[in-house]
Amino acid sequence: MTTSIPPERLKAFYVQMARIRRAEEAIVALYPEQEIRCPTHLAIGQEAVAVGVCQALRDGDTVLSGHRCHAHYLAKGGSTRGMFAELYGKATGCCGGKGGSMHLASPETGMLGASAIVAGTVPMAVGAALAATLRASDDVSVAFFGDAAVEQGVMHESLAFAALRSLPVVFVCENNLYATLTPISQRQVSADIWPRAAAHGLAAVGVDGNDVVAVYEAGAAAVARARRGEGPTFIEAKTYRWREHVGPNFDTDVGSRTQAELDGWMARDPVASLARTLEARGILTATERASIDAVLEAEVADAVSFAKASPFPEPAMLRTDVD
Amino acid sequence: MRELKYREAIDEATRQAMAKDDRIFVLGVGVDDAKGIFGTTRGPALEFGGKRVLETPLSEATLTGVAIGAALRGLHPLLVHARNDFLMLTMDQLVNNAAKWRYMSGGTMRVPFTIRAIIGRGWGQAAQHSQSLQAMFAHVPGLQVVMPATPADAKGLLMTALTTETPVVCLEHRWLYERSGPVGEEPYYTPLGHAAVVHEGRDVTVAGLSLMVGEALEAAKALAAEGISLEVVDLRTARPLDSETVCASVVKTGRLVIADTGWRSFGVSAELAARVGEQCFGELRAPIGRVALPDVPTPASSALEKIYYPGPAEIAAAVRATLSGRGRGPAPETAPNAAARGKEFSGPF
């Protein structure tokens, strides 16, 4: 770990990652109650990517995401209450209960939403970058997507168009090695994705997606390039999804991946490893960490209570926000 | 009033809208080439330059997503396609994103986004350059579909689309591009979802869209000689679909023929017939007639093209059938259209 990152920012990494972890572990615990009545795609194990990139952004910058969007929503500053109320289908949700887990949005923080079609928002992120260019703004746009997104045509069209017009967009590929149950080796010709992105004529780099500092440094460099008008960057962050593709369970019993593989990645828990590093460097003591954890625990408990107590949307809401 | 060609009206609408609203920019394949989509984007390109009229790679799906993203960030993109067939490449972005972003976000975001696309026809353009796909877009909540039949509406409906905060698909018929008509010089805005009675009559209502409005007016002339009085309604937009104006006309005439540029099954004619059945069944004195494309792809051969497209003769036959109370009339043995139409369309495409 480099020392150029101020301690306060390193602490912020921890708070953000721990919030996402705490919120998603709460979903794991609550899901069997069947009050969260929408498919949830958990990012437990992948928190460093969302946080490392979003920490490199400022107000005015935007992100777009896919079906596994909780981490991006929270990392970009979305309200915890708004997220849980959305998962519970309540009128107080960030999308009024009309979007659900796969379409979280908080435009006021720059989270412009998520598509449940793989790679669906990648061109939209390019469009947000084009808008910045046309408005002569130096805002930066980020697209978050998974490894399977590079199997879609619009991914390559988007990379080519962004490179052609030198747009201020950062493409962030969370390569978690699986599409549902199918390993990347059955879907792609090579294990590294970023060299294929580079072929479209943009800067591309691979990083350890479980190391939030490495992700942040790559993200900050990409964001700075974009802000300077030097064009797009593709970041491949290799990481690992602990839970099943959709839902709260582990899926090592179905035969697509081994317990040993999962154990290996859990030993590289991005949240715990950051905490250890910060403690070793005297940036975050165990006591401070416990106090942060307690605050986050209370924040999530409050969000759950808020969501459960909130009203469902009125029937009239069915027909609003269309034409 | 001053007359403009349909394509000139589109050019003028685009330039006037861009002058009034600097959020509007044009993008698409060929919008900034030497011909500029049959001249319709050439004027905007010359007047506003490459920062507001953007030539693009042939990546229709991504361009649609790019437009949506730009719309979410405060701009109003106008994406132009030389054929509406190319919109099939964009259906994920159009249907899953553009049409739904506002709803999925609980109304916290909007997608002001206008798409223009051209319906081709004739000279053997065949199955992938001659489709009229309004039903595919009109089916989707969150999309509006406009289909101007006149130069005046080509301007007024496009001006309205470019001030609408939701996605609008404007389908223009290539055969209308060179037709002239009165067009107001100042900016004006024709509301979406308001059909117009363009020819008053008493015996049978013909409700049509786009090119079929003119075909219905020709049929009206021919039938007048037989003492049959047609009322012609220009629907102007496929969604919203103004069935109320059609029903008001049916109250007067008691008979309805629907003339669509698209296929017969599951299209605008089916939807309008269903609504008229729901809303004013008691006013109908005969089964509703439909004039639309047969349910097959467009053939290339001129011999087959001639029998593929219905025109004034088929409309007249359907009208006579509703008057005889038999519903659908017999198909004509020959294609009187081709002879009546004079010089055949032969491009440019």
Contact B187, B159 (CB under 8 A): yes
Residue of B nearest to A130 (CA): B70
Q: What is the pLDDT of residue B348?
A: 83
Q: Which CATH code fits A39-77+101-281?
A: 3.40.50.970
**Which token pair is B266?**
């599951």
Q: What DSSP character marks residue A48?
A: H
pTM for the model stands at 0.95
Among candidate residues B129, B139, B194, B199, the one labeled active-site is: B129
A239 touches chain B (CB under 8 A): no
Residue of B nearest to A101 (CA): B104
Delimit the CATH 3.40.50.970 region(s) of chain B. Answer: 3-182
B68·A95 Cβ contact <8 A: no
B237 touches chain A (CB under 8 A): no
Residue of A nearest to B97 (CA): A115
Angle at A229 between CA A228 and CA A233, to 5 degrees: 95
Residue of A nearest to B105 (CA): A95
A157·B62 Cβ contact <8 A: yes
Residues of chain B with pLDDT > 90, as a percent, come to: 92
Quickly list DSSP for A78-138.
--HHHHHHHHTT-TTSTTTTSS-GGG--BGGGTEEEE-SSTTTTHHHHHHHHHHHHHTT--
**Closest Cβ opposite residue A128 in set B51, B72, B96:** B72
pLDDT in tens, B28-83: 999 999 999 999 999 999 999 999 999 999 999 999 999 999 999 999 999 999 99
A127·B66 Cβ contact <8 A: yes
Averaged pLDDT for residues B250-260: 98
Burial class (CB in 10 A: 0-12, 13-18, 19+), B232: buried
Q: What DSSP character marks residue A263?
A: H
Give residues 106 to 145 of A whose Cβ lies within 8 Å of B.
Answer: 106-107, 112-113, 115, 117, 120-132, 134-135, 139, 141
Chain B residues inside the 8 Å CB shell of A128: 69-70, 72-73
A153 touches chain B (CB under 8 A): yes
pLDDT in tens, A248-293: 999 999 999 999 999 999 999 999 999 999 999 999 999 999 999 9
Q: Regarding predicted confidence, which is higher, B346 or B149?
A: B149
Contact B231, B246 (CB under 8 A): no
Q: What is the pLDDT of residue B161?
A: 98
**Which token pair is A295?**
């605050």
pLDDT in tens, A25-80: 999 999 999 999 999 999 999 999 999 999 999 999 999 999 999 999 999 999 99
Delimit the CATH 3.40.50.920 region(s) of chain B. Answer: 196-341
pLDDT category, B327, cuts 50, 70, 90? Answer: very low
pLDDT in tens, A201-229: 999 999 999 999 999 999 999 999 999 99
**In the predicted structure, residue A4 carries a pLDDT above the cut 60:** yes
Q: Which fold has domain B3-182?
A: Rossmann fold (3.40.50)
Q: What DSSP character marks residue B97?
A: I
**In the predicted structure, residue A2 carries a pLDDT above the cut 80:** no
Burial class (CB in 10 A: 0-12, 13-18, 19+), B236: buried
| Alpha carbon separation from B174 to A81, A269, B208, B211 (Å, rounded) | 52, 60, 17, 9
Q: What is the pLDDT of residue B328?
A: 42
Residue bearing tokens 């491009």:
B347
φ, ψ dihedrals at B234, nearest 5°:
-90, 115
Q: Judging by DSSP bridges, how do beta strands A178-179 and A182-183 pair with one another?
A: antiparallel
Q: Which fold has domain B196-341?
A: Rossmann fold (3.40.50)
Chain B residues inside the 8 Å CB shell of A107: 72, 105, 108-109
Which residues have CB under 8 Å from B238's CB, separation 6+?
Answer: B134, B135, B137, B138, B145, B146, B147, B171, B209, B268
**In the predicted structure, residue B335 carries a pLDDT above the cut 80:** no
Which residues have CB under 8 Å from A315's CB, separation 6+?
Answer: none
Q: What DSSP character marks residue B157?
A: H
φ, ψ dihedrals at B74, nearest 5°:
95, 5
Angle at B220 between CA B217 and CA B222, to 5 degrees: 115
**Which token pair is B260?**
């669509």
pLDDT in tens, A123-176: 999 999 999 999 999 999 999 999 999 999 999 999 999 999 999 999 999 999
Averaged pLDDT for residues B97-116: 98
- Which residues lie across from B116 on neighbouring strands? B80, B170
**Closest Cβ opposite residue A113 in set B66, B109, B141:** B109
Q: Specify whether B129 is catalytic.
A: yes
